Amino acid sequence: MARAAEDEDIERRRRRRWPLLTAVAIDSLGTGLYLPLSLLYFLKVTDLDLATIGLLVSVTTALTLPVPIVVGRLADRFGPRLVVAGGQALQGLGFLLYLTVSGAGSLVVAVLVTTVGLRVYWSSIFTLIADHADHAHQVDAEAAEAKDHWYARTGMIREAGAGGGALLAGAMLAFDSTRVYDGLILGSALAFLAAALMVVLTVPALPHQPPPADRPSGHRALLRDRPYLALIGTCTIFALCSTFLALSLPVYVVQGLSGPDWAPGPLLAMNTLLLATCTAALTRFVRRRWTRARALTWAGALWALWCLASAVAVLLPAQVLVPYLVAVVLCYTVAEMISGPATNALAADAAPAGSRGTYLASFQYSFAIANILAPGLFGLLFNQNRLLPWLVVGLLAALGAVLMLRLERRLPQERPPARSGLPESAG
């Protein structure tokens, strides 16, 4: 009887998270369908050159940087569910506008709508996940690891959805047809619109606590919260580390190490596969042994080790280079699997009640800043010396690990890691 009750409880928790996780999967599929196209689509449907397209996209994207400031307040005031759906709907509309692009003006409008939707989505989805994880914990007090596992599982689903969409799009692009390009863009638009509809119709609306009226909240509270600002700064370092693999590996392997041209693809695929299949299991292992801040300290140390190992690769003979790089990428992937759920759960729990939307939307600037800095930083350093990127990023990772260790005392004390005997799928 006890075993049957436990199995029923596990199934009940699975059903509660199914609608949101499915919406994340559909959203990620839409992202994956578009990723292989990127600037290529605009080259196909306009007479603009690559430099002009790149400049227009970069400037338009930069214009959307203030969006999270507004989105966080909306999530606090009205709840994150409809804000998430609105971001997905805007992305769907933006991709429909892609089908009308013929020149610079229509390109800017389409990219602006899509990127605003992207900012809205990423500035509110983590609040929605955290709220549902907290609700699961309130329903079942044994689910002490709920938030970490919700973030781990949504991360796995994002990797699987985006990877599957990218593989499908890559195969379709072999036909090199404008009709195929338009079909992929339409598929992305429909995926985002379907995800928005699913959030509205199937994701339960939870009781929402508005910001308190009798004390500072929102951005006023955030700007006075020095530990949280320090958390954003420290996690910007980790976000920079997290963006570096896809950015640096192809160039470093082929140009820096004179390695085989075919190697970066399988190495990056291995990274994606492990992230999509193993993150939840590793999260449970880590969560039972360390606090989130200590887990992030270990992630920083592993990223520093990854940078050192990448630099050492210049000393190796060609015949052992690829097996060695497999181990190097595995080190990076473990750090990324540890950091993703721990970072988001720590940021969510450190945000005060009533201001979680504002805090988590502002926390997304750590990733935005990293994505802006990483390409230029890698290019500048690599042009100076092929080992310089690894030295600088390795030192930053070590600095982030030290800062996180010191910051732990200043953040709200988290619940002790659960050590119950619940099976992994219960989280």
Q: Is residue 211's pLDDT more than 70? A: no
CA distances from 283 to 145, 237, 248, 386 (A): 9, 21, 26, 34
Q: What is the mean pLDDT of residues 114-126?
A: 94
pLDDT, position 12: 55
Q: What is the mean pLDDT of residues 70-78?
A: 90
Split at pLDDT 50, 70, 90, the class of 171 is confident
pLDDT, position 57: 87
pLDDT, position 415: 62
CA distances from 281 to 150, 334, 348, 370 (A): 12, 11, 21, 27
Residue 340 token pair: 């993703």
pLDDT, position 317: 92
Q: Is residue 396's pLDDT more than 70? A: yes
Split at pLDDT 50, 70, 90, the class of 123 is very high
Split at pLDDT 50, 70, 90, the class of 93 is very high
Q: Specify which of 283-292, 329-338, 380-389 reaches the highest per-range mean pLDDT.
A: 329-338
pLDDT, position 6: 52
Q: What percent of the chain has pLDDT over 70?
A: 88
Residues whose CB is less than 8 angstroms from the CB of residue 409 and which lie 6 or more positions away in sequence, other chains included:
none
Among the residue ranges 34-43, 222-231, 239-248, the one predicted with the least confidence is 34-43
pLDDT, position 228: 94
pLDDT, position 416: 53
Split at pLDDT 50, 70, 90, the class of 354 is confident
The CATH number that domain 217-414 falls under is: 1.20.1250.20
Separation between Cα atoms, residue 389 and residue 310, nearest integer Å: 10
Q: What is the mean pLDDT of residues 204-228?
A: 77
The CATH number that domain 1-205 falls under is: 1.20.1250.20
Contact 228, 359 (CB under 8 A): yes
Q: What is the mean pLDDT of residues 135-147?
A: 59
What residue spans in the chain does CATH classification 1.20.1250.20 cover?
1-205, 217-414
Whats the size of the chain, residue-wise?
427
pLDDT, position 33: 84
Q: What is the mean pLDDT of residues 112-123?
A: 94
Residues whose CB is less than 8 angstroms from the CB of residue 90 and which lie 6 or more positions away in sequence, other chains included:
113, 114, 116, 117, 120
Helices vs strands, H then E, count in the chain: 17, 0
Q: Is residue 58's pLDDT more than 90? A: no
Q: What is the mean pLDDT of residues 339-356?
A: 91
Q: What would the 3-class secondary structure string for 307-369 be?
A: HHHHHHHHHCCHHHHHHHHHHHHHHHHHHHHHHHHHHHHHHHHHCCCCCHHHHHHHHCHHHHH
Q: What is the mean pLDDT of residues 25-44?
A: 84
pLDDT, position 330: 97
